[in-house]
Every structure is written in C-alpha cells, then in structure tokens.
Amino acid sequence: MASNNRRARPLGRLLTPTLYLEKIYDLPLEWLSDNSITSVITDLDNTLVPWRDYRVAEELTEWFNTLHKEGFKTLILTNARPSPTITKLSHSLNTKLVVGARKPISRFFREALMLLDSRPSETCVIGDQIFTDILGGNIIGCRTVLVERIGRREFLGTRIMRLFENVVRQHVNLPRWTRQQQKD
Ligand SMILES: [Mg+2]
C-alpha cells in the first residue's frame, strides 16, 4: 500500500494547479511578479472565450493590453485546429499563437516556450482543463492556473474527460490566492 501511495503522490502533484481562479480576470498581477513569472500561456476554448465562439470581448482585449503594458509576454496554446478565425483573434489580441497542439504533450508546451523565449520557471499556464492545461504545464515545470470553464458547450471528447476530471477535483487541492499567500 505504501508504494501505491508513493506513486499516487507525484501524480496528484501533476494534476494540482499552483493556483485556482474562477476566471482569468481574477489573475492577480502581484501573484505573477511574486512568482517571478514573465510569460503567460493561456488556453483558448472555455478559458478566454466560450467554446468555438471566437468573438473578442472588450474585457478580453483590455486584459491582454494590461499584461502587455506590465511587460508580460503572452501566447495562446490551443488544441483547436488551425483556422483563420483563431489567427485573426490572436492578431487582434496582439498575442502569439500555437494552434493544433495536443496538450498535455510536452512538445507543444516547449514550442510555446521557444516562441516566448521563456523558461518554464518564469512561465505560467492558464486553462480550464486539468488533463490538458494543468497536467501539461506541470510536466514541463511551469506554474499552472486552473480557471472555471466559461460555457457549458464542449467537444464530446472533452465532456468525457470532465467525468474523470470531476473525480480528480474531489482529491486535489485547489489553492486560492490570498494576500497571506503573498507573504508566505
Ligand atoms: Mg479549454
């Protein structure tokens, strides 16, 4: 039993986000600077926009503008197939893009880090799925931020993964940001 526990713990860590937020707009810039983060990789569907709804809200433009003004580098890393709509969205947000990825496979995270010219230790990965965004980000050594999905509509494969994710969520710690955490 002990050996099972030893195996379970590292897996548990890989499935645990560094930080849990309701939405991207709650991301504290202090948390980024406290953790020496200079680059932000974000998922697209259900993290920045509702699934396959690639219209850009003003609030989203402002969020990216603020990050860029504060000196953060940004990139959207998505498993969605390449499309002119997604390219247009990344241009309008003035952010880099890796499309057609297969998260959690590390190769795509490494490609993102190369484009950002950033090390894992100075990068955070934000997304709404534990088995793609959080697992992939943790494997390569980035900080990870889990957010709640924006909408209920999802790809069928994603809906199936949610069943497993719901089980994981009952066992992993979802750390919230507090000012105390900042001092620790
Ligand atoms: Mg997503």
42-99 pLDDT tens trace = 999 999 999 888 888 899 999 999 999 999 999 999 999 999 999 999 999 999 999 9
* Ligand 1 center to 45 CA (angstroms): 4
Q: Other CB atoms closer than 10 Å to residue 55's CB: what's the count?
A: 9
CATH number of the domain located at residue range(s) 17-176 in this protein: 3.40.50.1000
* Ligand 1 center to 148 CA (angstroms): 9
Task: Taking residues 134-160, report their average pLDDT.
Answer: 91
Sequence ranges of the domains in the chain:
17-176
pLDDT band at 127 (very low <50, low <70, confident <90, very high): very high
* Ligand 1 center to 168 CA (angstroms): 17
- At position 3, the amino acid (one-letter code) is S
pTM > 0.75: yes
Residue 7 has pLDDT above 60, yes or no: no
pLDDT band at 3 (very low <50, low <70, confident <90, very high): very low
The residues facing 38 across adjacent strands are none
* Ligand 1 center to 92 CA (angstroms): 20
Question: Two tokens at 42?
Answer: 């974000």
Contact of 148 with 46, CB cutoff 8 Å: no
Question: Two tokens at 73?
Answer: 């580098």
Burial class (CB in 10 A: 0-12, 13-18, 19+), 122: middle
What residue has token string 């926009």?
Answer: 49
In angstroms, rounded to a whole number, what is the distance separating the alpha carbons of residues 80 and 20? Answer: 23
* Ligand 1 center to 95 CA (angstroms): 17
* Ligand 1 center to 80 CA (angstroms): 9
* Ligand 1 center to 154 CA (angstroms): 9
Predicted pLDDT of residue 112: 98
What residue has token string 């955490």?
Answer: 181
How wide is the angle at C-alpha 46 spanned by C-alphas 96 and 101, nearest 5°?
45
Contact of 74 with 68, CB cutoff 8 Å: yes
* Ligand 1 center to 79 CA (angstroms): 8
